[in-house]
Amino acid sequence: MAGSDLFQVIAKKQDADNYRQLHWEGSFEEYLDLVVRDPRVTRNAYQRLYDMILSYGTEDYTQHREKITRYRFFTDPISNGRDGVFGLDKPLARLANIIKAAAMGYGAERRVLLLHGPVGSAKSTIARLLKKGLEVYSRSEQGKLYTFSWRMPDLHGEDSLQPCPMHEEPLRLVPSHLRPQVIDEINQRTKSDYKVAIDGDLCPFCRYTYRTMMENVQGDWTQLMKNIRVRRMILSEKDRIGIGTFQPKDEKNQDSTELTGDINYRKIAEYGSDSDPRAFNFDGEFNIANRGLIEFIEVLKLDVAFLYDLLGASQEHKIKPKKFAQTDIDEVILGHTNEPEYRKLQSNELMEAFRDRTVKIDVPYNVRLQDEINIYTRDFNKEKVKKHIAPHTIEMAAMWAVLTRLEPPKKSDLSTLQKLKLYSGKTLPGYTEDHIIELKSEAPREGMTGISPRYIQDKLSNALVALQDVNCVNPFMVMNELESGLQHHSLISNEDQRKIFKELLATIKEEYEEIVKNEVQRAISADEEAIAKLCQNYIDNIKAYTQKEKVRNKYTGQIEPPDERLMRSIEEKIEIPESRKDDFRREIMNYIGALAIDGRQFDFRMNERLHRALELKLFEDQKDSIKLSTLVSSVVDRETQEKIDIVKSRLIRNMGYCETCATDVLNFVASIFARGDTKGSGRHK
């Protein structure tokens, strides 16, 4: 495509009408008409932030008998999920509720919102999402807001527009004594449920300009307003309009003017005084974040002098620029910090005032396996990674990460791995929702310690790039990276903790063995027609058994008692004891009966446990014909090789393996069978 053609493509995609809407300018009188038509343009920072979050919708679901609201905004629909947060619906719902309370003026608006949690738990991501959301919302019709500029002569006597340095709400130009009357008039005329309020006074620069111009027009406010140009305001962190970010520097170099602005020494010569607001730069982070949000990175690393500014800004919504009176601000103050810094805050009596003005929102690590897997599959997927990642590679890394965050259960008959499975929605015999709720109540700080997702991401990256000649990364490569990295992990404080993490890796390796054995067994017994026949045979027998009838032998045509040996050979595969067999058989028959009432037919895939039992039974019947253990020998006859190739093709076609990892996993499982390691092959997972 020629350059001129490309230029035309870009030109056609320009939207001049949209640009004009986003950069609307008008008189103060026109702005009052806008306010009457849509009073929501005057919302304060908390109201706008909450409405922004709500604009993306919510959904409710129940988890362990607790109703949880998921706010879709935190999945990052703006950037197609790039900054989406997984598994933190409860903490995010708490954050949204606090913002809602602040929007309604219930007191939370006078607090610093403090995201608290271990490193890598998505605190910065949440802050980044909120800032990005406000930027996009301010460009939408629902999220529009306005500020103003002064038309005044410059040093050469020519008229120029001087914007309010703190992007203030234009209604602050209404004289204080007239505000109640103006507010009543607007609220009577508007058709909206939202009620307008005018809070706070003009910034020092605008107060000075207002006073000077009123003298020039001899107190005629209507003449003064002819020098006001109201314009639409687009929030932008990069342009430092309505969104600010402050990060502590070296303690010796911290200066509170970074927050509240500083004197412009070049202009002192022009205006003659360092207390003239025209000779002051109102460009501190608090100033420029007015009407929006300010983020404090690692807020507890701030010098005490900064914290004083923070106290006034949160409680009174005022800041104190050098040599000026207290100045009103309207912004959300959001900070985040990690566990060690917060513990230091709790032990410091001098910080009591700050603690009292802080609302802490815990942001823990994930303790549900699928949520953790989602974090890694976003970065390590087919679109981004050229190498093949063997099935269960990311799952095993995520499983280990979650295990490090769980507290060992107090019940001696429950392992930490089983606890992980219960949390992740699996069912274990003898455990109910009540048990899961009890486990959670026993460990209220679960997820606040353990291995960070960043460590897992680093080791997955290492495994992908370290072995250049390998075209497929398998779980053992990643587990080796995870283990070797523990030796130099900066956040592991003692040898005992390192030993526990290594033991958990050994648990993961055992779990992986079980998983791949099961998968190879499924690939061997993947003849669905054979499973369906076996299932029908089993159903016929348990139907006769539960109804105390006999069954016709399909081969001999003879009427015989139900085949107890067949039924038990299937039930034992999923550890149904002799004492429970009657209950299990009745459950299956009741389920089939309920389906029949709805006009549906039973299929073996509908019951995961029965499906697994049938596969294991079929595998047991067929494994001798394949003799996987011969794979570890150098000689494999043609017939066996053909059967192995069929199994391999099933692994590739149905389970996501490539030629390399399918061969590797068959060899691995073959070596297990060769050494006679069949323990737990029928264990239900």
Q: In the numeric block, which tokens belong to residue 563? A: 């085949």
Inter-residue contact 512 to 475 (CB < 8 Å): yes
pLDDT digits (tens, 9 = 90+) for 429-441: 788 888 899 999 9
Q: What is the pTM of this model?
A: 0.85
Inter-residue contact 24 to 33 (CB < 8 Å): no
**Can you tell me the mean pLDDT for 573-598?**
88
Give the 3-state secondary structure of residue 295.
Answer: strand
pLDDT digits (tens, 9 = 90+) for 627-669: 665 554 555 677 777 778 888 898 999 899 999 999 899 888 8
pLDDT at residue number 168: 96
Residue 62 pairs with which residues in a beta bridge?
67
pLDDT digits (tens, 9 = 90+) for 153-164: 765 667 889 999
DSSP 561-629: ---HHHHHHHHGGGT--GGGHHHHHHHHHHHHHHHHHTT----GGG-HHHHHHHHHHHHHHHHHHH-GG
Q: Which residues contact 518 (CB under 8 A, 6 or more apart)?
A: 681, 685
Give the 3-state secondary structure of residue 230.
Answer: strand
pLDDT at residue number 685: 37
The angle, 0 to 180 degrees and rounded to 10, between the axes of the packed helices 393-405 and 369-379 is 130
Q: Looking at per-residue confidence, does 419 or 671 come out higher?
A: 419
**In this structure, which amino acid lies at residue 388?**
H
pLDDT of 605 above 80? no
Considering 266-280, 281-295, 491-505, 638-652, the range whose residues carry the highest mean pLDDT is: 281-295
From residue 173, how far is each of 147, 177, 210, 230 by CA, in Å?
A: 11, 12, 8, 11
CA 94, CA 79: separation in Å to the nearest integer?
23
pLDDT at residue number 493: 75
Residue 145 pairs with which residues in a beta bridge?
233
- Read off the pLDDT band of 684 (50, 70, 90): very low
Give the 3-state secondary structure of residue 160.
Answer: strand
* Local structure of residue 241 (DSSP, 8 states): B
Q: Looking at per-residue confidence, does 175 or 554 come out higher?
A: 175
Give the 3-state secondary structure of residue 273.
Answer: coil
pLDDT at residue number 252: 56
pLDDT at residue number 155: 59
**Can you tell me the mean pLDDT for 302-330?**
87
* Local structure of residue 34 (DSSP, 8 states): H
Other Cβ atoms less than 10 A from the Cβ of 136: the count is: 16
**Can you tell me the mean pLDDT for 474-492?**
89
Q: In the numeric block, which tokens belong to residue 426? A: 């699996």
Burial class (CB in 10 A: 0-12, 13-18, 19+), 311: middle
- Read off the pLDDT band of 501 (50, 70, 90): very high
Report H helices in 13-162.
16-22, 28-37, 45-54, 89-103, 123-138
Integer Rg of the chain from CA = 34
pLDDT at residue number 682: 40
The angle, 0 to 180 degrees and rounded to 10, between the axes of the packed helices 453-466 and 369-379 is 40
Q: Which of 107-131 are b and which e, b meaning 16 or more Cβ less than 10 Å from the residue's Cβ?
A: ebbbbbbbbbbbebbbbbbbbbbbb
Which residue, chain included where needed, has tokens 């890796």?
A: 505
**In this structure, which amino acid lies at residue 494?**
N
Q: Which residues contact 366 (CB under 8 A, 6 or more apart)?
A: 86, 87, 88, 372, 375, 402, 405, 447, 453
Inter-residue contact 276 to 318 (CB < 8 Å): no
CA 388, CA 365: separation in Å to the nearest integer?
28
CA atoms in the 13 A half-sphere facing the CB of 382: 4
CA 522, CA 656: separation in Å to the nearest integer?
14
Q: In the numeric block, which tokens belong to residue 280? A: 């002051």
pLDDT at residue number 2: 55
Q: Which of 362-390 are b and which e, b meaning 16 or more Cβ less than 10 Å from the residue's Cβ?
A: bbbbbbbbebbbbbbbeebeeeeeeebbb
pLDDT digits (tens, 9 = 90+) for 57-116: 999 998 888 899 999 999 999 999 999 999 999 999 999 999 999 999 999 999 999 999
Q: Which residues contact 379 (CB under 8 A, 6 or more apart)?
A: 457
pLDDT digits (tens, 9 = 90+) for 171-226: 999 999 999 999 999 999 988 889 999 999 999 999 999 999 999 999 999 999 99
pLDDT of 603 above 90? no
Inter-residue contact 71 to 102 (CB < 8 Å): no
Which residue, chain included where needed, has tokens 């192995």?
A: 644
Q: In the numeric block, which tokens belong to residue 478? A: 């990643």
Considering 445-459, 463-477, 660-674, the range whose residues carry the highest mean pLDDT is: 445-459
**In this structure, which amino acid lies at residue 620?**
E
pLDDT of 680 above 50? no
Q: In the numeric block, which tokens belong to residue 24? A: 């609307």
pLDDT at residue number 352: 81
Q: What percent of the chain has pLDDT over 70?
A: 93
Q: Lowest-confidence range among 1-10, 131-140, 169-178, 253-262?
A: 1-10
pLDDT at residue number 425: 86
From residue 340, how far is each of 119, 352, 491 by CA, in Å?
A: 10, 17, 11
Q: Looking at per-residue confidence, does 666 or 44 come out higher?
A: 44
pLDDT of 677 above 70? no
Inter-residue contact 112 to 306 (CB < 8 Å): no
pLDDT digits (tens, 9 = 90+) for 519-543: 887 787 767 778 888 888 899 899 9
pLDDT at residue number 623: 63
Nearest residue to 305 (alpha-carbon basis) of 245, 268, 272, 258: 258
Other Cβ atoms less than 10 A from the Cβ of 519: the count is: 19
CA 644, CA 627: separation in Å to the nearest integer?
9
CA 475, CA 397: separation in Å to the nearest integer?
8
- Read off the pLDDT band of 376 (50, 70, 90): very high
From residue 286, how far is each of 99, 103, 336 by CA, in Å?
A: 19, 19, 17
CA 400, CA 394: separation in Å to the nearest integer?
10
Burial class (CB in 10 A: 0-12, 13-18, 19+), 180: exposed
Q: In the numeric block, which tokens belong to residue 471? A: 């075209």
